[in-house]
Structure 1
Amino acid sequence: MNIVNRLTIRHLKQNKRRTLVTMIGVIISVAMVTAVATLVFSYLDLMKRQTIADNGQWHVLYQDVSKEQLAAIKNDEATQAVAITRDLGYAPLAGGQNTKKPYLFIKEYNEQGFAQFPVELSNGRLPQNDKEVVISEAIATNAKVKYAIGDRLTLHVGERFAKDTDYPLGQSDWLQITDGQTTETLQNMTTKDYTVVGFIKRPVWEPAWAPGYTVISYVDESLMTTSDRVDAAVILQKIDRSLFLHAEDLATNNRIESVKYNQDLLYYYGVVKSEVMNSTLFSLSAIIIAVIMIGSVSLIYNAFAISVSERARHLGMLASVGATKRQKRNSVFFEGAVIGVISIPIGMIGGIVGIGVTFWFLNSMIQGVLGITEKLTVIITPLSLLIACVVSMVTIFISTYLPAVKASKISAIDSIRQTADVKLTRKTVKTSKFIRKLFGIEAEIGLKNLKRNRRRYNATVFSLIISIVLFLVVSFLTGSLKQSLMLSQKGVNYDIEVSYSNDDRIDDQTVQSITSLENVTEYSLMHELLMNAWIEEASISDQLHEALKKDRSMLEDGKYPYTIVVHALNDSSLQAYAKAVGANYQQLVDANHPAAIVVDTVHYKDFTSGKYVRTKSIHTNVGQSFDLTLGTEKETDVNKMTIAALTDQPPMGINQFVAGDLSVVDIVVSEPIMSQLMDGKDNAYVQTYLYLNSSDPLQTQQEIEELKAPNLHVYNLYQSKKQEEQSILLLSVFSYGFIVLISAISIANIMNTISTSIALRKREFAMLKSVGMTPNGFAKMMNYESVFYGFKSLLFGLPLSLLVMYLIYRVLSNKFSYEFALPWMSILLVIAAVFVIVSSVMLYSSSKVKRENLIDALKQESI
């Protein structure tokens, strides 16, 4: 080690506090980059594992393939593994007591299929040939049919067909019943003999309303004939966007008619077929990486830049004893290398440990509350560690290079005297006369102190600006991601829907029997009526305006025909809903002046562009009214309806996701108003639904079906609701974790920068005290400096944040269309937090300065 490097190490040891502060800045920065990268990779890994646990591990599914086509798929160079599956059909369940599930549904897997798909064995073993089966435990618990391992079954298997149709029905199609009688038939029957070798948990992919209990057998490829057809679920060797083109080419070359992709799983690999979605993900990733890198650069650079004057003085002393420009630059680089070698590993370990501790706390919540079967696991990848290393090393190099170059260009005397950093010209420290008049001499001195060393002042302001931008951008980004995810969901807000298949109303006794069941936690009884209204052209949705530019034939007298879906809630549900949306309940039950709550916001998927859109289905205001009719004629049986409230939050049972018809509007009224609309008319127009939430939806469904009410139909959507809630809440956990992490980093950045700045000004403060500044005056000066820092950082930080937020919005609008909205709560929080944090840190740091001995502080050469 040469003499200059030894002197550099000695200088670092002598200035322990400055060295420690610089190292803390680097450690925090590396920890932030490492933690964010680990958080993202871990979140994606969790979602991959959860998707596989729910739907199986496969990337491409070739449907209805022959033995020859299957061989081509298996021999394809892109194929890693192939699972063979086949839906054999339905067989009547002998002795079944559940009239809504009269069948056994037989599905077949090969050995690889049992490994790839979520088949959870509870007892016995899996089938090993096509004469063996495992059956769902739900048969014993729901159908009350007793099976045991070793039982022999003779099943008559066929395909389900609805009356007067030639298209077979599947598990997603509920049992076809009319007037209590089954109207579907089993056709193309074959007889199969099986032996029961085990029991399985009810598969998550079996719809709750499916008419058949799952039975799984074995498909043996070696026994396939040329006429047999199976599905091939493929795991690929390599997962990238080329898989879509490759799969389509393989299908075309081998005359395979149907190819499906596991979009849910591929999405978490960052592989999407849509060019628009791919561009959106790429642009969004670039913005996130840029935000993280800027935050990292600011942390490390400020840690060095805040003490540039101290290093410049040290380098000037080296120059005075003969050090060359190259030696001075190498000295600074060596200093950065020493700090980096110590700080980077500590930062990485700290970031990983911090995320590990966070996951330890989160796992109990996401598994207990969300029902997630997989655990959050800390995923450490070489890429994330490499990113943290490279970003940190490059930033340290930049942070050390700039002051080194500056120091090498000035003379030794100027470096030692620090005349390059502090230039007390009249123009430099000039302040407005109003400052003294408005705030006093202390404010003027504080402002002059900031101006006399602009480098240190600008470094502090820059740190505050970056912290503001980081927090606001991350808050807006996570909110936008949640909004985008919610747009892509169906918005199911209930577990079970109960209705009569022949459009009769559910009688009060049946409602009471169902709602009093043990596991029912919430219910809403809703009557639904379809009516019509002619809406003024100025009030129709923006999308309909665009359609009218091409075809105005739908307009009549300047009005557009709308379908109004009138929903009448029972009294208790209406009171709760009115309170939630801010409507006047008394106005809603006033029969003399009919009023309704209008759900004016919907979302849908535009199949032309593939974009998810959130929009207003109607433009109107509270207090306005429209005319409702049962027919299409505008003058027939007109009922005037006043708008009591507008909302984007539908009640239980109404989904905001529409199929694309924006001329449909949901309104909510009271039961007396519904009766008034139906006065003298046929009640057949009204359909009644009972919506339930349950702590055990499957058990509740079973208990409702056991009531054996004729024509009662139970539609259990708990699985869809659960998956949507899991997706949204998991993203919320990720989002809030990201915000908390960035907030902690931002606060640490501010504290680090300001405390170091105050520490470097000890001599300056001592000089002010020596010429008569009182403790009260000193406190006032520090308060005014805090205000100056806060206003200056907000002046630049807020516009810059708005610019980045709008950029993120424009990127997401390529795939998700919704109105740009500022995060006002986050902005107000930032404004308050900046002044609170800056003031607190400055007061704390200055209180430590106050305790310094005046003479020692004046003599101090280093910190």
Structure 2
Amino acid sequence: MNIVNKLTIRHLRKNKRRTLVTIIGVIISVAMLTAVATIGVSFMDLMKRQAIADGGEWHVLYNDVNQDQLQAIKKDENTKKIVLSKELGFALLKGSKNEDKPYLFIKQYNQAGFQQFPIKLSSGRLPKTPNEIVISNEINDSAQVDYKIGDVIKLDIGNRISNDPDIDGPLDQYYSLETDEKGEINEELKVTSTKEFTIVGTIKRPTSEPIWGPSYTVISYLDEGLYGKEEPVDAIVVLKRVTNSIFDHAENLAKKNHIDHVEMNHDLLHYYGAVKSEGMRTTLYSLTAIIMVIIIVGSVSLIYNAFAISVSERSRHLGMLSSVGATKKQKRNSVFFEGIMIGLISIPIGIISGLAGMWVTFLLLNSIIQGALEITERLKVTVTPGSMLLAVLVSIITIFISTYIPARRASRISAIDAIRQSTDVKLTRKAVKTSKIVRKLFGIEAEIGLKNLKRNRRRYQATVFSLVISIMLFLSVSFFTANLKKSLALSQDGQNYDIEMGIEQGRDDQLVNSILSTDEITKYTMISQAQYAQSWIEKDAVSDVLRQYEGFNSELVKGKYPYQVCLYALDDKSLKAYAKEAGADYNELQAGLNAIVIDKIRYEDEEAGKYVETKAIRTKVGEKIKLYSDNTEDEKQKYMNELTVSALTDQLPLGVIPEGPGSLDIVISETVLDQLGISADENRQLYINSTDPLKTQQQIEEMEEVKHFIHNVYQSRQQDKQMVMIMSVFTYGFIVLITAISIANILNTISTSISLRKREFAMLKSVGMTPKGFNKMINYESIFYGIKALMYGLPLSVICMLLIHKALMNSFSYSFSLPWMSIFYVTIAVFIIVGMSMLYSSAKVKKENIIDALKQENI
């Protein structure tokens, strides 16, 4: 080790406070990078494991392949494992007490299938031959059929065929039991074969079995050798490598071998980062790049401030080195060497701190997540070589960038200037000039505070830069998380309820009250089945999306465009609750022809490959919407009446799913429906949200008077709800992390800056500044810092938000809006944090002896 490096180490030891502050700054930065990388990897790992637990570990499904096609799939270079599966069909479950599930559904897997799919054995063993089966526990529990291990059952297996001529082909297990208007079964079982099976075990209800389905699942063994060359099976493939190329690869393989149908396990693949949509891929890559740049900039600022804010204090040491013969290169390398030493200490501690912080966070979150959702997997701190290498490399790069500017500045400074520190203190008239208005409005303390900032411009700029970066970090990340949740909501299927049930109008009020009295129900809506009308909307009020379609002008009639109107009549209790949610006056809705218009809709534009949120119509409260009968194509159709817009909202009642552009959804009372001359159907639909949909359904089915159709969509919505909830936990956790880092950054920067000004404060006290005047000066400096930081931070944050919004628009379409509440919070927070930091730091220097502070050379 050369003499300059030895002196650098000695200087670091001598200035312990500054060294410790710098190390802490780097540790925080590295911990942030590690935490961010760990959050991303751990989140994807959790969702991947949960997707496997719910639907099995597989990537591609080739339907109905013969032996030749199967051999081609096996020989494919990317095939790791093949699961063979076959659906034998349905059989009547004799003795079933559950009228909604009269069937068994028989499915076969080979040995690999029992390993790759979530088949959880409760008792007995798994099948080993084609004449053995395992049955679902639900058969004994729900259907109350007394099957035991060892029983031999004979099943007539076939296909479900609907008696409704409008429904073609066999019905699968995802098609609920067909019933007619009287509630009687309206389908038949066409038997194709008869088989005997020995029950060898029981399993938990398979996740692939839909709750609303008409059957209980039983699973048998598939022996590949028993199938002839032409008898098809389903080939389910587990791949060696999962990349974006698998979509084209699978389609090409199917085309080459004349396989008609290929399915991809999108629920699992997108957690590997494999996304088929080009727009979605562009969105993910763009967002990743933007967020990484923001995080790296934040890290660079944190580390840079730790090095740069004390350049003036280090410059005297470097000047002394220069005075005894140190070259520019040696001075520059001295700063680089300091960065290396601090990095060697800080990076390992930062990585360990980041991982430890995530471990504690996940430990706390696991009970919350698993308690709130049907999630079987636990959050684990997932460490991959790539994520750790990324954190280390980015940390090294940020330390290098952070030390480069101080090192370059140190190499150029002359010995005399360094010792006198003449480059850091600007005393020219122009440099410290302040407006007379400042002194008149705020007093001499404010003027001195502003002059101090101008005198020590580099420290001042470093502090403002730290504040600006903190503002950008918080606003950009909060905007990103809010828009990510919004995008996720846009991509959902639109079902916002757990249970749907038909209710016969006029007779079942007591039944409805009984159903709604169950403790698990959190929200409900009773709706008369949608009634349709038509309206002619002025061209200027038509949705922007419609105006962009080709042929829009050709459909105009006298400057008006035809809209289909969907009228949803809510019962009194549901309407009262919904009116409060939508900001409407319930009494007004009951008094006349008033309505709530849903003016914002969400839909999937398959042609553009985007999820879109747009205005359904441009109207205002108080305007009229004329309704016409929905039976002709011209404006002379029968006029019905007009509705007054009582409120505009984007909130949807349970069960209402917008039909897309050109359709207008309107919520009215049942009284208004009568006034329009429209006869409601005899049946109404009851939509329910429940904390335990399965228990709620069971309670409803146990009510003797229930003879109505019940549809439980909870299972199909479960994964979407899990995603939204977990995303919320992670995104708000991310915001908390960034907020904590930002506050630490500000505290670190300001406390270091104040500590370096001990002699300056001592000088002011020596010429007569009172403690009160000193506090006023500090307060005004805090205000100047805050105003300056907001002047730069807010516009830069808006630019970051626009970039994030633009990246999302590759796959989504909705208008840009500023997060005004976040901006308000960050504005207040900046002044509070800066003020508290300044007061806390200055309180420590107040106790310093004036003579000792004036003589002090090192901190």
Specify the TM-score bucket, using the shorter chain as the normaliser: over 0.9
Cα distance per residue 1:470-524 (max 9 Å; x no partner): 0000000001100100000123222211116xx8776334434433456545432
After the TM superposition, which residues 235-250 of structure 1 pair with which residues of structure 2 at under 5 Å, given as runs?
235-250=238-253
1:508: which partner in 2?
Answer: 509
| Equivalent residue in structure 2 for 1:349, among 336, 347, 352 | 352
Q: Which whole-Å CA distance do the structure 2 matches of 1:694 and 1:398 have between them?
A: 54
1:813: which partner in 2?
Answer: 809
Q: How far off its partner does 1:687 sit?
A: 4.3
2:501: which partner in 1?
Answer: 498
Q: Which whole-Å CA distance do the structure 1 matches of 2:347 and 2:791 have between them?
A: 33
- Return the letter of the residue paired with 2:854: L
After the TM superposition, which residues 722-737 of structure 1 pair with which residues of structure 2 at under 5 Å, given as runs?
722-737=718-733
Q: Which whole-Å CA distance do the structure 2 matches of 1:446 and 1:706 have between them?
A: 76
Cα pair 1:534 1:559 within 8 Å, conserved: no
The alignment status of 1:7 with 2:18, answered yes or no, reads no
Cα distance per residue 1:204-245 (max 9 Å; x no partner): 221111111111111111111122211111111111111112
After the TM superposition, which residues 513-528 of structure 1 pair with which residues of structure 2 at under 5 Å, given as runs?
513-517=514-518, 519-528=520-529
Evaluate the alpha carbon distance shift between residue 764 and residue 551 of structure 1 in structure 2; reply closer, same or farther with a 3 A threshold: closer
1:147: which partner in 2?
Answer: 147
Structure 2: runs of 5+ lacking an equivalent: none
Cα distance per residue 1:232-291 (max 9 Å; x no partner): 111111111111122122112211111111112111111111111111111111001101
1:323: which partner in 2?
Answer: 326
1:776: which partner in 2?
Answer: 772
Cα distance per residue 1:811-850 (max 9 Å; x no partner): 1011010110111111001110111100110011111111
After the TM superposition, which residues 178-327 of structure 1 pair with which residues of structure 2 at under 5 Å, given as runs?
178=180, 179-187=182-190, 189-327=192-330
2:556: which partner in 1?
Answer: 555
Q: 3-state DSSP class of the match of 2:101?
A: coil
1:667: which partner in 2?
Answer: 666
Percent of pairs identical after alignment?
Answer: 59
2:419: which partner in 1?
Answer: 416
Cα distance per residue 1:750-785 (max 9 Å; x no partner): 000000000000011111111111111111111111
2:574: which partner in 1?
Answer: 573
1:641: which partner in 2?
Answer: 643
- Return the letter of the residue paired with 2:323: S
2:689: which partner in 1?
Answer: 693
Q: Which whole-Å CA distance do the structure 2 matches of 1:357 and 1:710 have between them?
A: 49
Cα pair 1:79 1:234 within 8 Å, conserved: yes
Query: What TM-score do you get using the length of structure 1 for normalisation?
Result: 0.96
Q: 3-state DSSP class of the match of 2:500?
A: strand
2:534: which partner in 1?
Answer: 533
- Return the letter of the residue paired with 1:621: K
Q: Which whole-Å CA distance do the structure 2 matches of 1:97 and 1:630 have between them?
A: 47
Mean Cα deviation higher: 778-787 or 664-673: 664-673
Q: Which whole-Å CA distance do the structure 2 matches of 1:352 and 1:788 have between them?
A: 38
Mean Cα deviation higher: 224-233 or 604-613: 224-233
Q: Which whole-Å CA distance do the structure 1 matches of 2:403 and 2:560 have between them?
A: 70
Mean Cα deviation higher: 92-101 or 129-138: 92-101
Cα distance per residue 1:694-715 (max 9 Å; x no partner): 3442343344345566862111
1:448: which partner in 2?
Answer: 451
Cα pair 1:140 1:146 within 8 Å, conserved: yes
- Return the letter of the residue paired with 1:558: G
Q: Which whole-Å CA distance do the structure 2 matches of 1:189 and 1:618 have between them?
A: 54
1:799: which partner in 2?
Answer: 795
Q: 3-state DSSP class of the match of 1:527?
A: strand
Evaluate the alpha carbon distance shift between residue 829 and residue 517 of structure 1 in structure 2; reply closer, same or farther with a 3 A threshold: closer
- Return the letter of the residue paired with 1:69: Q
Cα pair 1:528 1:565 within 8 Å, conserved: no
- Return the letter of the residue paired with 1:12: L
Q: Which whole-Å CA distance do the structure 2 matches of 1:843 and 1:511 have between them?
A: 62
1:47: which partner in 2?
Answer: 47
Cα pair 2:183 2:709 within 8 Å, conserved: no
Q: 3-state DSSP class of the match of 2:360?
A: helix
| Equivalent residue in structure 2 for 1:544, among 546, 555, 568 | 546
2:593: which partner in 1?
Answer: 594
Q: Which whole-Å CA distance do the structure 1 matches of 2:651 and 2:327 have between them?
A: 71
Q: How far off its partner does 1:540 sit?
A: 2.1
Evaluate the alpha carbon distance shift between residue 238 and residue 506 of structure 1 in structure 2; reply closer, same or farther with a 3 A threshold: farther
Q: Which whole-Å CA distance do the structure 1 matches of 2:601 and 2:477 have between them?
A: 26
Structure 1: runs of 5+ lacking an equivalent: none
Equivalenced residue count is 852
Q: 3-state DSSP class of the match of 1:260?
A: strand
Evaluate the alpha carbon distance shift between residue 175 and residue 434 of structure 1 in structure 2; reply closer, same or farther with a 3 A threshold: same
1:459: which partner in 2?
Answer: 462
Cα distance per residue 1:596-654 (max 9 Å; x no partner): 11112111111101100011112211111212344436563512211111110112222
Evaluate the alpha carbon distance shift between residue 844 and residue 509 of structure 1 in structure 2; reply closer, same or farther with a 3 A threshold: closer
After the TM superposition, which residues 783-794 of structure 1 pair with which residues of structure 2 at under 5 Å, given as runs?
783-794=779-790
Cα pair 1:177 1:711 within 8 Å, conserved: no
Q: Which whole-Å CA distance do the structure 2 matches of 1:56 and 1:696 have between them?
A: 24
Evaluate the alpha carbon distance shift between residue 104 and residue 446 of structure 1 in structure 2; reply closer, same or farther with a 3 A threshold: same
Query: What TM-score do you get using the length of structure 2 for normalisation?
Result: 0.96
2:38: which partner in 1?
Answer: 38
- Return the letter of the residue paired with 2:21: V
Evaluate the alpha carbon distance shift between residue 509 and residue 770 of structure 1 in structure 2; reply closer, same or farther with a 3 A threshold: closer
Q: Which whole-Å CA distance do the structure 1 matches of 2:134 and 2:50 have between them?
A: 24
Q: Which whole-Å CA distance do the structure 1 matches of 2:561 and 2:59 have between them?
A: 46
- Return the letter of the residue paired with 2:82: V
1:757: which partner in 2?
Answer: 753
Mean Cα deviation higher: 393-402 or 714-723: 393-402
- Return the letter of the residue paired with 1:120: K
1:76: which partner in 2?
Answer: 76
Mean Cα deviation higher: 628-637 or 361-370: 628-637
Q: How far off its partner does 1:566 sit?
A: 1.9
Q: 3-state DSSP class of the match of 1:182?
A: coil
Cα pair 2:529 2:680 within 8 Å, conserved: no
Q: How far off its partner does 1:166 sit?
A: 4.7
Q: Which whole-Å CA distance do the structure 1 matches of 2:94 and 2:488 have between them?
A: 44
Q: Which whole-Å CA distance do the structure 2 matches of 1:345 and 1:55 have between them?
A: 39
